[in-house]
Structure 1
Amino acid sequence: MSQQRDPGRWADLGPRLASAMVLAVVGAVHVWLGGLVFLALVAVLSGLMLWELARMTGQGGRAWLPLALGLAGALALGIDEGVPAMPAWLLFPPVALAMALTPRIFPVVSGLTALAILVAGHGLFVIRDEAGTATLLWLLAVVIVSDVAGYFAGRIIGGPKFWPAISPKKTWSGTAAGWIGAALVGLGFWLSGHGPAILPLLSPFVAFAGQMGDVGESWIKRRSGVKDSSQLIPGHGGVMDRFDALTGAVLLVMAMQPLVPLARLAGAP
């Protein structure tokens, strides 16, 4: 009955699936190859996210400014990973400050978001280098499965909204389904011998961090008066729309290092 009342609820499913499959294949190949190939992908995606952020939050700035900020972020990330003598703490803050000090709707939030994007990009390399490809694939799988489970549960089950003032489409059923899906991912990696026993417990927290990354971006879009960060990805909107959850998840994993070192995530004793 509810599907008859809302026949368009699955209208975006086809483009979403097609885009998700392409992104998954491209991402898996780049993660597996690593090196400069992986660096190029992360730098480009981070630069595009910064470009979208600058476009959404810009207020009376020059038309070339978002592109310049995106290029600056991609270059900073590339130098950080490609030139070991240039640490992130020297390269990332100037980009974030440039985002905050140019005309913006909310400069402080924009600057902090820019910094989060760059730190998350850096974190992807740290996780792959220190914990291995399997750990990075676990992280990606947690974010993807949580998103997919939340999408279908939210549309099939529905129910109360998770945070209607910021993200009106998200439901508690979808949020909980994302946690369950993430736990199953962690369980699968542990049982297959590609991670420690903590993964099933840790995975829902990583999924929640990803969901908060999505909510944070939704807040920025709502305050900026836009529906999507851009139209670069069919069915998903922009790059930020697709990778906001991954940003939140990576930041949590990096922040947990004092409690759960990457070596432990990799299954090392």
Structure 2
Amino acid sequence: MTVVGAAGAILGGVWFQMLVVFVTAVMVWELWTMIRPDEPTKGMLLAALAASVMSGELAQVGALWMLLFLIVPVIGASQLRSEVKTFFIFALGIQVAGWGLVNFRNDYGFTWLLWLMSVVIITDIFGYFAGKQLGGPKFWPRISPKKTWSGTIAGWIGAALIGFIFTLFTDAGLWIILLSMLMSFAGQMGDIAESALKRRMGVKDSSALIPGHGGLFDRFDALLGAALFMLLVARVAYVPGVAF
């Protein structure tokens, strides 16, 4: 997975686009099967529809095309007797985050996609080891009983370190350090959101697609949160001193 993901990110263009389309479709399927495990076939159809919408939409420009992303959430929600809002919000978020990743890669290049992914990865690594070694008060015990404040803060520190490293070989100013920490927090919230969803649905993993590691949703939840955050920043805000 790491090799395929890295290759797609480096090559960019249609290769990265198709990788994101595949991952997005699988996560939509996993979302459906968490809510309705008794009807996996409908989940497959929704995943295929999501892939169709994403593969066509990602090549388009203009806010009006974003309305196509409502097709899967609306159709899926109409088939549910419960958790309608849950499916709608998460399905829409997954698709928009995927769209944001592809556009971020196309608009700002591999360097800044590498920065985004590095922040997410280092947040997870620093958070895991700090939480395991230091322990301490829980961050949000009702939703994610394993996450601690020490791990959360360590993730921010790791993200700040990544931001500083990128100031050394890019045109970004020191604001990139703060932005990295904020994006780290957004990634953590993506992780928390998926944990809340799994707890609500009474499942341990989003799927059993990756033996011993759960599903793609479990692997990319933090990346989704970070992507949504950066989509917001890159589209509606001006961050002084940042090259993109």
**TM-score, length-normalised on structure 2?**
0.93
Is residue 216 of structure 2 the alignment partner of residue 239 of structure 1?
A: yes
CA distance in 2, matches of 1:243, 1:230: 13
Between the aligned residues of both structures, percent identity stands at: 46
CA distance in 1, matches of 2:117, 2:171: 14
Q: Secondary structure at the match of 2:174?
A: coil
- For residue 82 of structure 1, the aligned residue among 56, 59, 64 is 59
The answer to whether the 8 Å contact 1:229/1:240 transfers is: yes
Matched with 2:180 is 203
The answer to whether the 8 Å contact 1:57/1:104 transfers is: no
- For residue 168 of structure 1, the aligned residue among 123, 145, 156 is 145
CA deviation string 1:15-40 (max 9, x = no partner): xxxxxxx42x3222111111221111
What is the count of residue pairs matched by the alignment? 243
5+ residue gaps in structure 2?
Answer: none
One-letter amino acid matched to 1:51 = W
CA distance in 2, matches of 1:86, 1:216: 26
Q: How does 1:118-267 map to 2 (within 5 A)?
A: 118-193=95-170, 195-256=172-233, 257-260=235-238, 265=242, 267=243
Matched with 2:19 is 41
CA distance in 1, matches of 2:84, 2:190: 18
CA deviation string 1:200-239 (max 9, x = no partner): 1110100100100111111110010100001222443111
CA deviation string 1:165-221 (max 9, x = no partner): 001111111101110001101111111226333211110100100100111111110
Q: Secondary structure at the match of 2:136?
A: coil
Matched with 1:56 is 34
Q: Secondary structure at the match of 1:226?
A: coil
Matched with 1:93 is 70
CA distance in 2, matches of 1:65, 1:235: 25
CA distance in 1, matches of 2:222, 2:154: 15
The answer to whether the 8 Å contact 1:179/1:204 transfers is: yes
CA distance in 2, matches of 1:88, 1:236: 35
Decide whether aligned partners of structure 1 residues 245 and 104 sit closer, same or farther in structure 2, where only a CA change above 3 A counts.
farther
Q: Secondary structure at the match of 2:92?
A: helix
One-letter amino acid matched to 2:28 = L
Matched with 1:4 is none
Runs (4+) of structure 1 exceeding 3 A deviation are 82-88
- 1:83 deviates by 4.9
- 1:87 deviates by 5.3
How well do the aligned residues superpose, as a CA RMSD in angstroms? 2.0
5+ residue gaps in structure 1?
Answer: 1-21
One-letter amino acid matched to 1:102 = Q
Decide whether aligned partners of structure 1 residues 113 and 94 sit closer, same or farther in structure 2, where only a CA change above 3 A counts.
same
